[in-house]
Amino acid sequence: MFEDKTFENLIRRKIVWIQDFAKQQGFSLDTRTASMIYFAIAGNSVEMQQAYIELEQVLNESFADTQSRDFLIRRAGERGLIPYPATAAIRQGEFNIDVPIGARFSLGRLNYIVIKQISFGVFQLQCEMSGIVGNIDSGALIPIDYISGLETAILTDVLIPGDDEEPTEHFRARYYSNLTTQAFGGNIQDYVEKTMQLDGVGGVKVYPVWNGGGTVKTVFLTKQYQKPSNILVDAVQTQTDPIQNQGKGLGFAPIGHVVTVEGVEETILNITMNLTFEAGWNWNAVEPAVLNAIDQYILELASEWDKVNWREDENATLVIRISQLETRILMLTGVLDIDGVVVNDGTQNVILAPNAIPVRGSVTNE
């Protein structure tokens, strides 16, 4: 709005006004850069330019689409919304003995604390640092304090993924969604918003009256757009509608709603293709890039799983498009041409089930 309010434009306008005034009075004035008039108006022009910059900043901070994070949080707070906080990863640890609850272990630069037993020698460990960093490393754990009889300690599966604080643009989109779709009394939007607030949940679909009156089914995936562990599914079920006391309103589900919580399904994609390579290249050289290109495509699709038009069409689904695979692989360095792409023994696009996300299986070049 104030793009033209630069120092150069402001001082040019003032000089024009001064020259027009002098002309009307029948004389002329020296307005060159080194003149006294120029020096007299230059300082004021700098201040005016700064005032316009600050005015534009104030204007931008007045509207949600251009607000910076701090002001967006204040605006969304008027509707009871705050960014989802960073959460700590819950990992599985495997030991040769039962270790005490509260025992601490380290792996690299991160520490983990034992919080719950799963079975003999198998425990849940919580990363002491919040964020996705706790989801990454696996391997041998080192006890921080001595534990008698401990011989092996391995950090394995991610049970409940950790996540960073909600990004600004995601929070902005959630704010606008809150404006356009009202959540109340156990309607679909109410289930979506409350489920998305739970640790580890990255997307959800809600199916009302799926098994008769009073029944609801929610299906979700993790913040990493993956199939959740059974432990995470159980945790979301308990917070939604505890399985032992369903329909009694002991979770966030209203009294009378019997809620079934499930994780997404996985569809394995086994892909074969026939690549022609540029001079000096072969399959071994391009394979890492090909796998990465496929993984990125799969991740993009999985991230859109809960955004397809499922509210109007329960059968809305993801589609693996052969043309997308060919285009992305053909753009890679070392690949001259591609044909004969087959996914799961077929040459047509693969239509997934409504509650399925794709997962890369075998990838071969023939």
Residue 131 lies in a domain: yes
Total domains in the fold of the chain: 4
Token pair of 80, please? 């009871």
Burial class (CB in 10 A: 0-12, 13-18, 19+), 286: buried
Residue 170 lies in a domain: no
- C-alpha distance from residue 283 to each of 327, 365, 366 (Å): 17, 7, 10
Whole-angstrom distance, CA of residue 356 vs CA of residue 269: 12
- Is the pLDDT at 19 greater than 80? The verdict is yes
Q: Are residues 24 and 13 in the same domain?
A: yes
CB 262 within 8 Å of CB 355: yes
Enumerate helices (H) and strands (E) in the chain, giving the number of each. 8, 15
Whole-angstrom distance, CA of residue 45 vs CA of residue 60: 22
Confidence of residue 121 (pLDDT cuts 50, 70, 90): very high
Residue 176 lies in a domain: no
pLDDT per position as a tens digit, 177-191? 888 877 788 899 999
Token pair of 319, please? 């589609």
Q: Are residues 240 and 151 in the same domain?
A: no
Residue 357 lies in a domain: yes
Among the residue ranges 50-59, 186-195, 212-221, 329-338, the one predicted with the least confidence is 50-59
Residue of 220, 213, 169 lying closest to 193 (CA atoms): 220
Q: Are residues 237 and 300 in the same domain?
A: no
Strand partners, 258: 215
Q: Are residues 219 and 253 in the same domain?
A: yes
Of the residues 263, 282, 301, the one at which a domain ends? 263
Residue 254 lies in a domain: yes
- C-alpha distance from residue 178 to each of 80, 182, 189, 192, 311 (Å): 10, 6, 9, 11, 16
Taken as a whole, the chain contains a residue count of 366
Of the residues 129, 160, 191, the one at which a domain ends? 160
pLDDT per position as a tens digit, 240-283? 999 999 999 999 999 999 999 999 999 999 999 999 999 999 99
% residues pLDDT > 70 (the chain) = 99
Q: Are residues 252 and 271 in the same domain?
A: no
Confidence of residue 316 (pLDDT cuts 50, 70, 90): confident
Q: Are residues 256 and 276 in the same domain?
A: no
% residues pLDDT > 90 (the chain) = 74
Q: Are residues 254 and 278 in the same domain?
A: no
Name the 3-class secondary structure at 59. helix
Of the residues 104, 130, 160, the one at which a domain ends? 160
Domain of 320, in residue numbers: 266-365
Confidence of residue 1 (pLDDT cuts 50, 70, 90): low
Q: Are residues 271 and 315 in the same domain?
A: yes
Residue 172 lies in a domain: no
Q: Are residues 348 and 272 in the same domain?
A: yes
Q: Are residues 302 and 278 in the same domain?
A: yes
Identify the pLDDT of residue 28. 82
Which residues are CB-neighbours of 100 under 8 A, at least 6 positions away? 114, 147
Q: Are residues 308 and 323 in the same domain?
A: yes
Q: Are residues 155 and 143 in the same domain?
A: yes
The rounded mean pLDDT for the chain is: 92
Identify the pLDDT of residue 163. 92
Residue 251 lies in a domain: yes
Residue 173 lies in a domain: no
